[in-house]
Amino acid sequence: MKLLNRATAYFAVLLLVVLSAWAALFYYNMLDEIYDSIDDGLENQKILVMQKALQDSTVLAQREFEAGYYQVKELPFNLAANRKDQYRDTLMYMLNEKDYEPVRLLVTVFQQGGRYYELRVITSMVEEDDLIEDLLYSLLWLYLGLLVSLLTLNNLVLKSIWQPFYQILHRLQRFRLEKGEALPPVKTNIEEFRLLHETVDKLLQSNIDTYNSQKAFIENASHELQTPLAISLNKLELLVEKEGLTEEQMLQLGAVMQHLGRLSRLNKSLLLLSKIENRQFQEMGPVNLQEIVRQALADLGDQIEYKELQVSVQEEPCLVQVNPDLATVLVYNLLKNAVVHNVQGGFLNLHLTAQALVLENSGKDQALDTQKLFSRFYKEASASGSTGLGLAIAKAICDLYGFSIRYRYQQAHLLEVTF
228 vs 348, which has greater pLDDT?
348
> Do 14 and 136 share a structural domain?
yes
Q: What is the mean pLDDT of residues 91-112?
A: 81
The span from the CA of 172 to the CA of 160, in Å, is: 19
Is 167 a domain residue? Answer: no
Q: What is the pLDDT of residue 37?
A: 83
Q: At what angle do helices 390-401 and 324-340 cross, to 10 degrees?
A: 140
Domain boundary among 148, 166, 188: 148
Q: What is the mean pLDDT of residues 258-276?
A: 69
Residue 79's pLDDT is 81
pLDDT of 382 over the 60 cut: no
Same domain, 262 and 338: no
User: What is the arithmetic mean of pLDDT over 255-268?
Assistant: 71
User: Is residue 100 domain-shared with residue 235, that is, in the same domain?
Assistant: no
Under the banding of pLDDT at 50, 70 and 90, the label for residue 128 is low
Which CATH number do you get for residue 333? Answer: 3.30.565.10
pTM of the model: 0.48
- Supply the DSSP string of 23-76, one letter for each residue: HHHHHHHHHHHHHHHHHHHHHHHHHHHHHHHHH-GGGGG--SGGGSSEEEEEE-
Q: What is the pLDDT of residue 67?
A: 66
> Mean pLDDT, to the nearest integer, of 126-148?
76
For the beta sheet containing 404-409, the strands, ordered from the edge strand earlier in sequence to the opposite edge, are: 310-315, 347-352, 356-361, 413-418, 404-409
Rounded mean pLDDT of 263-275? 68
Q: Is the pLDDT of residue 306 over 70?
A: yes
Q: pLDDT by residue (tens digit) across 12-26?
A: 888 888 888 888 888
Considering the domain architecture, whether residues 355 and 272 belong to the same structural domain is answered as no
Residues 50 and 131 in one domain: yes
Residues 295 and 276 in one domain: no
Domain of 236, in residue numbers: 176-280
Mean pLDDT of 45-66: 83
> How many Cβ atoms from other residues are within 10 Å of residue 154's Cβ?
16
Same domain for 135 and 15: yes
Helix extents (H) in 242-323: 247-277, 289-299, 301-306
In a domain, 131, yes or no: yes
Give the Å distances, CA to CA, from 118 to 71, 115, 376, 377: 8, 10, 102, 105
Lowest-pLDDT choice from 163-172, 175-184, 350-359: 175-184
Query: Positive or negative, the Cα torsion across 276, 277, 282, 283?
Result: positive
